[in-house]
Structure 1
Amino acid sequence: MIKVTVWNEFLHEKLHDEVKKIYPDGIHRTLAKGLAADDIEVATATLEEPEHGLTEERLANTDVLIWWGHMGHDKVDDEIVERVQLRVWNGMGLIVLHSGHFSKIFKKLMGTGCDLKWREAGEKERMWVVNPAHPIAAGLPEYITLDQEEMYGEHFDIPAPDELIFVSWFEGGEVFRSGCTFSRGQGKIFYFRPGHETYPTYYNPQVLQVIQNGIRWAGPSGAAAPVRGNHQPLEPIGNKE
């Protein structure tokens, strides 16, 4: 069983009626319901909970953390960001969704500004699978079409991804690297672009399938933990004069 925590600011849904109509229980609960499976157990956490819901205990019991943020990036405590970073280094998977590209944790792990072009015009997005052999693309068609989404366009200020899985085309003409993977320490990171709060993207079965695939890809590998620090010799070391 892969233990997942879906983290969401849960601010837009409280402040904006347009978003509340689409996600009345919050993006986090919509995702939790859509992602749960026989092998995936989902919990949720939000910004305004104590320690943002990301206590030491919660993170210790999280195999994959999903992150959605937008208007409250600066409200996330730096100590919690460092706590999450340490867990990623030690093997926790991280899936960053949509505007989470500007979150403190993603920028810290990328080491770049993570900026991009954007436009909110409710335009069509066609997201092409450019790496169909990758596990995150399992069971998907050649492309996914979203009738309305926010545009993100290149240049996306991130390091060169370890793997590129999706490239989006938008009705206005721009393209974007919409599915990128990275490794940091023992942890796997998947950035997945779709999910603006004013569109019902997280009800789309293909979008949910991508995120489920990402959970299974980013989950614990079972690999042995690395050994570091001062180390005693395995073989006798002869005196050298």
Structure 2
Amino acid sequence: MKYDWILFDADETLFHFDAFRGMQVMFKRFGIDFTEKQYADYQLVNKPLWVDYQDGKISAEQLKVTRFQGWADKLNVTPKALNSAFLEAMADICTLLPGASELIEALTGQAKLGIITNGFTELQQIRLDRTGMSDYFEYVVISEEVGVAKPDGGIFAHAHQLMGNPCKSTVLMVGDNPHSDVLGGMNFGIDTCWLNTQAAQRPEGIAPSYEVSSLQQLQRILLA
């Protein structure tokens, strides 16, 4: 095994993140049939907020409040309550990506494993517990707790320090987002693997050490 440490992103790298389905589940609990059109309108607000969050322009708290403000006003609840209801729904429907369980199982004992995620604290531990993944990871580093989000080098530096500052050549970052995961890892000086399940075009200036279309393919490369 080439690496002593393998760090994973969470959403769409280990866990499915079906936000539309999560919102349908959440709104059903409020007595609303949430439509694809309503989801598309929500994403017009949500997506730019995530870009601003990853660029360090807004805080996790601002993101949570702003993305649900419109719906909170309609339902006469606080945006924070709606955000919590959404994360609860996402925890209720959480599943692992194909090959995630087998990959983590195969790597255990071969390398130390960690997670670096821009997701929210409220959701992370519940998903790890419910999918039986809790005991496999040495550290779960969450942007909301660190105060900076990937691709900011600060979150990678924080994780690196927790890990005991291993030689960077022995660390691999695996993620589905070429900007936050791959570029963030590249800029920090560690090897990266882009999990490109959608056969997307590689963005200019992004050069992962590996590019795979599935976690099964990554397992074959790492344990060859």
Q: TM-score with structure 2 length normalisation?
A: 0.35
| Structure richer in helix, relative to its length | 2
| Structure richer in strand, relative to its length | 1
Report which structure shows greater RCO (CA 8 Å, sep ≥6): 2
Q: TM-score with structure 1 length normalisation?
A: 0.33
